[in-house]
């Protein structure tokens, strides 16, 4: 996730700086975060971003709601059970990569840094759908409003290979998990699972089988 956020060059520069400055010495987490921050040409504060990722017991689910060209994203802790952690007010710093699919069948990949509970951004009004965590780089789940799930299901059934195998596996893992804890409509889940008769890649099938066990 950090490598995708900073970019390959800045990430590797930071790793080399960290190893060079700390060889033969004792280190703490902050030493790595500082080296990565120093290497960032965009001046990202990696330390403050990574604090909750290191200490929080939960991990986030980002919910995507689309209204025409406006996209709102909301983060919450993802917990299977109704525990105090599930009511936590923790906010992660999330590099939210997304892909918007245009009518020509091309994805445009962009990133929004989600620091607060909710943020919003705009996409083209004629975009067919939006896929959160595009490229499957982030350590978080993604839920969608019902119409967005239906658009994803329709695309999978029409031409599933427009998504990479990794993105298909991510979609399958998320929707099976949401269905199992009853936060996703079963009829949409059936539309999602129907496409598997066309699926020949290992990774999506592995994700589906492990989720359904």
What contacts 173, CB < 8 A, 6 or more positions away?
207, 210, 211
Cβ proximity of 183 and 76 under 8 Å = no
Predicted local confidence at residue 181, as pLDDT = 87
Q: What is the largest CA-CA distance in the chain?
A: 58
Tokens 């001046």 correspond to what residue?
A: 43
What strand order describes the sheet that includes 70-78?
Answer: 118-122, 70-78, 59-67, 141-144
Nearest-CA neighbor of 36 among 7, 65, 61, 71? 7
Backbone φ and ψ for 174, nearest 5 degrees, come out as -70, -50
Asked whether the beta carbons of 72 and 65 are under 8 A apart, the reply is: yes
Closest of 32, 81, 26, 84 to residue 54, by C-alpha: 32
pLDDT number for residue 88: 59
Element (H, E) at 16: helix 8-22
Cβ(167)–Cβ(201) below 8 Å: no
> What would the pLDDT profile of 67-95 be if each residue is shown by its tens digit?
999 999 999 999 875 544 445 578 999 99
pLDDT of residue 29: 87
Nearest of 122, 140, 113 to residue 45 by alpha carbon: 113
| Average of per-residue pLDDT values in the chain | 91
- Long-range pairs for 51-57 at CB < 8 Å and ≥24 separation? 52/90, 52/91, 52/92, 52/93, 53/92, 53/139, 54/29, 56/88, 56/90, 56/92, 57/85
Residue 54's pLDDT is 85
Name beta bridge partners: 108: 100
Predicted structure pTM score = 0.90
- Predicted pLDDT of residue 81: 58
- Per-10-residue mean pLDDT of the chain, 213 residues long, equals 90 93 90 91 88 85 97 92 57 95 95 96 96 94 96 97 97 92 85 94 94 78
pLDDT score for 57: 78
The predicted-structure confidence for 173-193, as pLDDT tens digits, reads as follows 999 999 988 888 888 888 999
In angstroms, how far is CA 22 from the centroid of its own chain? 32
CA distances from 22 to 18, 19, 39, 48, 96 (A): 6, 5, 15, 21, 31
């Amino acid at each position: 996730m950090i490598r995708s956020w900073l970019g390959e060059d800045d990430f590797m520069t930071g790793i080399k700086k960290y190893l060079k400055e700390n060889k033969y010495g004792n280190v703490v987490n902050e030493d790595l975060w500082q080296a990565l921050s120093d290497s960032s040409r965009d001046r990202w504060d990696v330390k403050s971003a990574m604090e909750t990722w290191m200490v929080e017991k939960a991990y986030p689910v980002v919910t995507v709601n689309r209204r025409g060209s406006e996209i709102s994203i909301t983060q919450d802790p993802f917990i299977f059970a109704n525990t105090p952690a599930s009511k936590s007010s923790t906010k992660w710093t999330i590099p939210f990569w997304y892909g918007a699919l245009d009518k020509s069948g091309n994805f445009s990949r962009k990133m929004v840094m989600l620091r607060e509970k909710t943020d919003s951004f705009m996409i083209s009004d004629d975009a067919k759908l939006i896929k959160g965590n595009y490229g499957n780089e982030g350590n978080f789940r993604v839920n969608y409003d019902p119409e967005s799930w239906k658009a994803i299901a329709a695309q999978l059934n029409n031409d599933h290979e427009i998504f990479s195998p990794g993105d298909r596996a991510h979609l399958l893992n998320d929707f099976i998990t949401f269905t199992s804890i009853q936060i996703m409509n079963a009829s949409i889940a059936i539309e999602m699972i129907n496409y598997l008769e066309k699926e020949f890649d290992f990774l999506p099938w592995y994700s589906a089988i492990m989720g359904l066990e």
